[in-house]
Chains A and B, each alone.
Chain A
């Protein structure tokens, strides 16, 4: 990456962020909005400093669920996509149900899952996985099926086995779309973990950020609520950044999306 592109990538967002914060601060100050309606950036920063440790512990719980859900979604979604690619019949028979799972709002089924699954962590994990897994299935299936026709013929010409076809041709062809799906799923897993905890309510020994947000809402500790939200969005950005980096690393030699300017 050349210097000016890197600058744009770093400086651009910082400038936008600074402008928004300044505007926000200006509004709160100009209209003298009380913190329990809309806290200014300064108040939130102070809250973040004072409540940071307790919020971080909760964030860790949410993060654990998110990462576990993403891992399960990758394993499950990836295998399901491979299964689909091996048999059109299986794909046609199961895909509609994957879609149903995708369009069912997780808030609607979370109470059921929480009743069925005794362990809170496991219940939240199931909810977050359900939210996260569709993009991986859909993208990976598409990727596995979009291997170059002529390459498929070439493999057949040399008598490639099914396994060779999958490992040497279909899986590498699917990698870019799989990674794109994973980037979407990373954010969805986080949303799923938070939303499911909202439904589950506070309870159990270890609770995540959603519980902190609910508590803060009950007690009208609005700055604390904003601090928790801020941490949540920071986490979302971090997850996206890590997955984007992973994608770039894996594709840098050959895929258009990850090529660095070579001149």
Chain B
């Protein structure tokens, strides 16, 4: 059994304005997992992710993070969230810069990251010169450049068209297989979560609780052919049903 990286126990969060976003979340994520978090809009998915990242504190319950995670968490937001005044390569360099890595020492890592996300020709471009999908890839490159042990993605592809989204889904899955980091992927798309992950947790509407925890036993390598397969459709049906129950 792999080491547990993140464990939430009876975790709850209410905001100062009285909104209860999360209620009694129990969730353990082991090293190497690719977990999808699926739930209706406003059920507290982003809140959960921000608590896991340590950006906000839970108001009740506990969140334990493995010591190995200190400074090794990557975060991809729903929007690309790039610095508009910095070039693509400077945006990707940012996390290393904040951790005190010199530009010279970082250059090969930044270049390799840009290469693996097909962004090499755009290293000197500014974010406004990129398409939405490319901006998102820069955002992913930035999150991966530190070789995080845990990668948190908050509906990163929600704003993209389906073709770009399918492509980025495949890319992300490939990157995960290559880097073998742990991924928690928030989405409200059943199809996306089934395609990408090895395990899906389903949340109820606000205040969010976890009502189902489903393993996704699909092949390791996944490509567009999988989307047409009966097995994939079957998993999608199961997850959809559980989501519908959660929302009832």
A interface residue numbers (CB < 8 A to B): 148, 150-151, 153-160, 164, 168-169, 172, 175, 253-255, 259, 262
Q: How far is the CA of A148 from the CA of B81 in the complex (A)?
A: 8
Docked-complex contact B79 and A150, CB < 8 angstroms: yes
Q: How far is the CB of A206 from chain B (nearest CB, A)?
A: 42
User: CB-CB < 8 A to A254: which residues of B?
Assistant: 84-85, 126-128
- B98: contacting residue among A148, A150, A153, A164, CB under 8 A: A164
Chain B hits for A262, CB < 8 A? 129
19 further A-B contacts with Cβ under 8 Å, apart from A148-B81, A157-B73, are A150-B77, A150-B81, A153-B53, A153-B55, A153-B75, A154-B94, A158-B94, A158-B98, A168-B97, A169-B83, A172-B83, A172-B85, A172-B86, A175-B85, A253-B126, A254-B84, A254-B126, A255-B84, A259-B128
Tell me the minimal C-beta distance from A143 to chain B in angstroms.
12
Question: What are 7 A-B residue pairs whose CB atoms fall within 8 Å in the complex?
Answer: A150-B81, A154-B81, A157-B54, A157-B55, A158-B94, A172-B86, A253-B126
Complex-state Cα separation, A253 to B84, whole angstroms: 9
Residue of B nearest to A159 (CB): B71
Nearest-Cβ distance from residue A260 to partner chain B, whole angstroms: 12
Per the bound structure, the CA–CA distance linking A263 and B53 in Å amounts to 41
Q: Is the CB of B99 within 8 A of A253?
A: no
Interchain CA distance A65-B65 in the complex, whole Å: 60
The closest CB in chain B to the CB of A259 belongs to: B128
Q: Does B207 contact A (CB under 8 A)?
A: no
Min CB gap A6→B, angstroms? 22
Hey, which chain A residues are within 8 Å of B133, CB to CB?
A: none
A168-B128 Cα distance, complex, nearest whole Å: 19
The DSSP consensus for interface residues of chain B is loop
Q: Which residues of B contact A253 (CB under 8 A)?
A: 85, 126
Q: Which residues of B contact A (CB under 8 A)?
A: 50, 53-55, 71, 73, 75, 77, 79, 81, 83-86, 94-95, 97-99, 126-129, 146
| A151 touching B81 in the complex, CB below 8 Å, given contacts A156-B55, A254-B126, A259-B128 | yes
A154 to B97 Cα, complex, angstroms: 13
A157 cross-chain contacts in B, Cβ below 8 A = 53-55, 73, 75
Set of chain A residues within 8 Å of B98, measured between Cβ atoms: 155, 158-160, 164, 168
Assembled-state Cα–Cα distance A236/B8 (Å): 63
- Please report the C-alpha to C-alpha distance between residue A197 and residue B105 in the assembled complex, in whole angstroms: 57
B75 & A154 in contact (Cβ 8 Å cutoff): yes
B85 pairs with A158, CB closer than 8 A: no
Complex-state Cα separation, A150 to B154, whole angstroms: 12
Q: Please give, as numbers and ranges, the residues of chain A lying within 8 Å of B50 by CB-CB distance.
A: 153
Tell me, in angstroms, the Cα distance from A172 to B90 when the chains sit together.
Answer: 14
Tell me, in angstroms, the Cα distance from A35 to B83 when the chains sit together: 59
Name the residue on A nearest B125 (C-beta). A253
Say whether A158 contacts B99, CB under 8 Å: yes
Q: Chain A residues near B99 (CB, 8 Å)?
A: 158-159
- B136 to chain A minimum Cβ distance, whole angstroms, is 14
Q: Which residues of B lie under 8 Å from residue A175 when comparing CB positions? A: 85
| Chain A residue, CB-CB nearest to B152 | A157
Expressed in whole angstroms, the Cα–Cα distance for A159 and B73 within the complex equals 11
Residues of B within 8 A of A158 (CB): 71, 94-95, 98-99, 146
A240 to B: closest C-beta gap in Å: 24
Contact status A168-B94, CB under 8 Å: yes
- The complex places the Cα of A153 from the Cα of B74 at a distance, in Å, of 12
- A150 to B54 Cα, complex, angstroms: 14
The distance in angstroms between the C-alpha atoms of A172 and B83, with both chains bound, is: 9
When distances are taken between beta carbons in the complex, the residues of chain B under 8 Å from A154 are: 75, 77, 81, 94-95
Q: Which of A153, A154, A158 has the most CB of B within 10 A?
A: A154
Residue of B nearest to A262 (CB): B129
Q: Distance (Å) between the CB of B215 and the closest chain A CB?
A: 30
Across the interface, name the chain B residue whose C-beta is closest to A176.
B85
B96 vs chain A, min Cβ distance (A): 9
Which residue in chain A gives the minimum CB-CB distance to B142? A154
Compute how far the CA of A169 lies from the CA of B90 in the bound complex, rounded to whole angstroms: 13
A169 vs B83: C-alpha distance when bound (angstroms):
8
